[in-house]
Structure 1
Amino acid sequence: MSHVSGAGRIRADDIAGRAGSFVASPQGVGMASRWFLLLLGFLGVLVFVGLGIWQLERRVWKLDLIARVDQRIHAPVVDAPGPAAWADVDAGGYEYRHVRLTGSFSGGASTLVQAVTELGGGYWVLTPMRDDRGFTVLVNRGFVPQESKAEFQQESGGPRSPATVDGLLRISEPGGGFLRSNDPAANRWYSRDVAAIAKARGLTDVAPYFIDAGRSGADGWPRGGLTVVTFRNSHLVYALTWFALAAMLAIALARPIFAGRRKRDAAR
């Protein structure tokens, strides 16, 4: 019995030793590395395919957004939303609506916000307008060039006579521009931040949006109607790029597998 048990232990030790030597051998390590790289490659293919599908979904969303905005811009003009609707005003449901405001410009000095347009560098002129319904809206009266800055900084507001403004409803742009924060204390503005401008000018009952006035037909300043309504839509290109990367990676993974099979078939 002891002889058999000893032989069994010798055979078990021999098998374990051979398995250990295989795992520890360069060939075993190489095989493990190849399987690990193959797994990583397979995961990479899945990630690329997932990114491609995501871009296709983004494209559908962008096309729907473009269609909705285009419909709003060309829809009949409606009154600018009053206080009862302010809680619901957001980019998804209201931005670029064609709206009308009737009242008079008053309530504080204009605010100049740095801008770059088709006319070059300069400023947007935002002036508070008191609507006949009893609330205030910041109206972007249009663009003025750099050399006109001093003239509009000194004005105490726009024309005081009753006026009607037709334009596009825009959502507030809080914080500032790219790498530049608004500085109310120094009167430096890089974005049309409605809340910050209203606070700096001491305005009350201010709508949470502003209005880009349409073109007035006059050649003077400020020049309205310069709102750019374009949406970058390169999602199909991005999707095709991700799918192409997935295909190339899949081919790279499959080539050594098929090459190994051909070698084994040839050796038989």
Structure 2
Amino acid sequence: MLFALAAFVALGVWQVKRLHWKHDLIARVDARVHAAPAALPPTARLASAAPGTLDYLRVKVTGTYAASQTALVRAATDLGTGYWAMTPLHMTDGRTVWINRGFLPAGTTVPQASKTTPSDFVSVTGLVRPTEPGGSLLQSNRPQDDRWYSRDLAALSQARHTGPAAPVFIDAQTETASAPASGKPAPVPGLTVIQFPDNHLQYALTWFAMALLSAVGIGVVWRRRA
């Protein structure tokens, strides 16, 4: 029971530390999301950054879309089920980065999605997101059938023959084009879900309650032996 008491206290303290870490993370992400857009970091930094370091960084990129290389990735949003329209952007600095242009309803085809892509110079403001290799929790990507359940950048680049692309993609918030496309319906941007589970206080209270019960149990046993 003494061991259990020590273990429960340690777990409670650990959850308190996790609570402070999570609140700090939420504050940092909130600051990034609402910050003025910055330039996309160099590819070397994108590739070497620790997981989560650049997530939700708000950036602004300019260039031209490769409409013919558009891919549709299954999506479930507040607007219903459908697809994310993923299109590579050839940036003015020579790099290529995948852009999630937004949500398209179920039934949209790749040719239809391509027609919604501006053919001229565009400026995109959005949030940096990490690649999603493999597929979803329940389904694996099937590049051979052009069926995509996650935004796996390496697989998308290989399937669409884009050449080297940035190891992150950008969830578009706004898109400004010099020659907007006429295809309909246009992708709906700005649907990035930013949500972090924050149950650490509840867990901490649970562990400390278990520690208190262990202490009471120790007291009962001690009195009986006395």
Normalising to structure 1: TM-score of the pair?
Answer: 0.75
Matching residue of 2:16: 56
**Whole-Å separation in 2 of the counterparts to 1:84 and 1:73:** 22
1:104 pairs with 2:69: no
| Residues 22, 198 of structure 2: 8 Å contact kept | yes
**Whole-Å separation in 2 of the counterparts to 1:115 and 1:195:** 19
Aligned length: 220
Structure 2 vs 1, CA of residues 104 and 42 (structure 1 numbering), >3 Å: closer, same or farther?
same
1:168 pairs with 2:127: yes
**Whole-Å separation in 2 of the counterparts to 1:97 and 1:134:** 21
**Whole-Å separation in 1 of the counterparts to 2:94 and 2:175:** 25
Structure 2 vs 1, CA of residues 244 and 208 (structure 1 numbering), >3 Å: closer, same or farther?
same
Q: Following superposition of structure 1 onto structure 2, how do residues 64-79 of structure 1 map, counting pairs within 5 Å?
A: 64-79=24-39
1:241 pairs with 2:211: no
Q: Which has the higher helix share?
A: 1
**Whole-Å separation in 1 of the counterparts to 2:67 and 2:48:** 25
| Residues 116, 186 of structure 2: 8 Å contact kept | no
Q: 4+ runs of 1 displaced by more than 6 Å?
A: none
**Displacement after TM superposition at 1:259 (Å):** 2.9
Unpaired stretches in structure 2, ≥5 consecutive residues: none
Matching residue of 1:209: 168
Deviations 1:202-231 (A, max 9, x none): 111300100000145999431000111121
| Residues 39, 59 of structure 2: 8 Å contact kept | yes
SS in 2 for 1:206: coil
Select the structure with the greater relative contact order (CA < 8 A; seq sep ≥ 6): 2
**Displacement after TM superposition at 1:70 (Å):** 1.0
**Whole-Å separation in 2 of the counterparts to 1:92 and 1:183:** 27
**Whole-Å separation in 2 of the counterparts to 1:152 and 1:115:** 18
Structure 2 vs 1, CA of residues 118 and 62 (structure 1 numbering), >3 Å: closer, same or farther?
same
Deviations 1:38-70 (A, max 9, x none): xxx222222211111111111111111111111
Deviations 1:22-51 (A, max 9, x none): xxxxxxxxxxxxxxxxxxx22222221111
Structure 2 vs 1, CA of residues 205 and 215 (structure 1 numbering), >3 Å: closer, same or farther?
same
| Residues 212, 225 of structure 1: 8 Å contact kept | yes
**Whole-Å separation in 1 of the counterparts to 2:142 and 2:219:** 58
